[in-house]
């Protein structure tokens, strides 16, 4: 790995470089790191913001939405003047202003079984900042098969959940073997969400992503961290690998071709 940080970079990242746990080697690892952020909404916004500030050299952003006024209460990388723009474009503009060291690779589309593998396998770490179960299962399955770690986060009204899924730990299907029936879990548009909540959860996902690139610290493996903004409490809930898990268990699938990602996201028996 090249350690050729220039004078501007030594200045910009000096508060990283001065720490023994990161140093110039760690900063070089961040600069050569590639992180894919699935979703440029409430969770994705702080993730993109802090990864860019930290000098993660390549940030991929997948999102098919455009910026709406009702997003701005929480999606802090998008501005009033961005309304109507694709979120990936608004995200790219934000990062360009923040840090010229960072390249943003934009995917203005939904992640689907047809494009997921070609997009995801290009990255070192994936941050799942999506808002729906089919995408979470798809990201889980493709990353597991490709050996890519995931910093997962989810939010609901005043509550957040996060966990880190690594190739040799339990996967998202071990944690949630079955998706809720479509329509039974309301989204932010119908239930509302505290504007600052995704900021807290997204920053924690960004923390995990940076540590994965630096290969340092403890990860939230086999642990769901549950955050309640109402009483400002954090609870750690352990979970285990399921030997019968269709994606990481004893008889795991070797491709996603047979998996249904709409509705219940079932892995079919044959």
- Which residues are marked as active site? 188
Residue 256 beta carbon to Zn ion: minimum distance, rounded to whole angstroms? 14
| Closest alpha carbon to 202 in 63, 61, 74 | 74
| Euclidean distance between CA atoms 251 and 238, whole angstroms | 23
Site for Zn ion (CB under 5 A): how many residues? Answer: 6
| Closest alpha carbon to 29 in 180, 212, 177 | 212
Nearer to Zn ion, 74 or 173 (CB): 173
Contact 52, 19 (CB under 8 A): no
Cα dihedral 12→15→20→22 (10° resolution) = -50
User: According to the binding rule CB under 5 A, does residue 267 interact with Zn ion?
Assistant: no
Nearer to Zn ion, 45 or 171 (CB): 171
Mark residues 196-225: x for contact with Zn ion by CB under 5 A, - for none: ------------------------------
User: According to the binding rule CB under 5 A, does residue 142 interact with Zn ion?
Assistant: no
Select the span of 29-37, 95-103, 127-135, 247-255 touching Zn ion (CB under 5 A): 247-255
Nearer to Zn ion, 109 or 237 (CB): 237
The residue within the footprint of Zn ion, chosen from 111, 142, 155, 248 (CB under 5 A), is 248
Buried/exposed code over 54-75 (b: 16+ C-beta within 10 A; e: otherwise): bbbbbbbbbbebbbeeebeebb
DSSP string, 180-210: PPTTSS--HHHH-B-TTHHHHHHHHHHHHHH
Contact 179, 132 (CB under 8 A): no
Nearer to Zn ion, 21 or 178 (CB): 178
Select the span of 90-98, 213-221, 232-240, 246-254 touching Zn ion (CB under 5 A): 246-254
| Euclidean distance between CA atoms 136 and 87, whole angstroms | 19
Residue 152 beta carbon to Zn ion: minimum distance, rounded to whole angstroms? 13
Nearer to Zn ion, 168 or 231 (CB): 168
Residue 262 beta carbon to Zn ion: minimum distance, rounded to whole angstroms? 20
Mark residues 163-182: x for contact with Zn ion by CB under 5 A, - for none: --------x-xx--------
Residue 195 beta carbon to Zn ion: minimum distance, rounded to whole angstroms? 33
User: According to the binding rule CB under 5 A, does residue 245 interact with Zn ion?
Assistant: yes
Contact 104, 59 (CB under 8 A): yes
Binding residues for Zn ion (CB under 5 A): 171, 173-174, 245, 247-248
């Amino acid at each position: 790995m090249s350690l050729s940080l220039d004078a501007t970079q030594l200045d910009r990242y000096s508060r990283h470089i001065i720490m023994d746990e990161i140093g110039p080697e760690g900063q070089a690892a961040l600069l050569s790191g590639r992180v894919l952020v699935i979703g440029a909404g409430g969770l994705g916004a702080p993730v993109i913001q802090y990864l860019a500030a930290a000098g993660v050299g390549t940030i991929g952003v997948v999102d098919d939405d455009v910026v709406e006024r009702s997003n701005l209460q929480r999606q802090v990388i998008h501005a009033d003047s961005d309304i109507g723009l694709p979120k990936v474009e608004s995200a790219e503009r934000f990062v360009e202003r923040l840090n010229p060291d960072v390249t943003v690779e934009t995917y203005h589309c939904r992640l689907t079984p047809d494009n997921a593998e070609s997009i995801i396998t290009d990255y070192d770490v994936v941050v799942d900042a999506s808002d729906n179960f089919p995408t979470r299962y798809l990201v889980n399955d493709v990353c597991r098969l490709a050996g890519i770690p995931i910093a997962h986060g989810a939010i609901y009204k005043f509550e957040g959940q996060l966990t880190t899924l690594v190739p040799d730990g339990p996967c998202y299907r071990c944690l949630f073997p079955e998706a809720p029936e479509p329509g039974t879990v309301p989204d932010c548009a119908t239930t509302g969400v505290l504007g600052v909540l995704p900021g807290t959860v997204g920053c924690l996902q960004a923390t995990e992503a940076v540590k994965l690139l630096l290969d340092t610290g403890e990860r939230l493996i086999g642990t769901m961290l549950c955050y309640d903004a109402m009483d400002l409490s954090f609870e750690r809930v352990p979970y285990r690998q399921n030997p019968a898990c269709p994606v990481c268990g004893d008889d795991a699938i070797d491709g996603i071709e047979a998996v249904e990602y709409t509705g219940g996201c079932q892995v079919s028996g044959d």
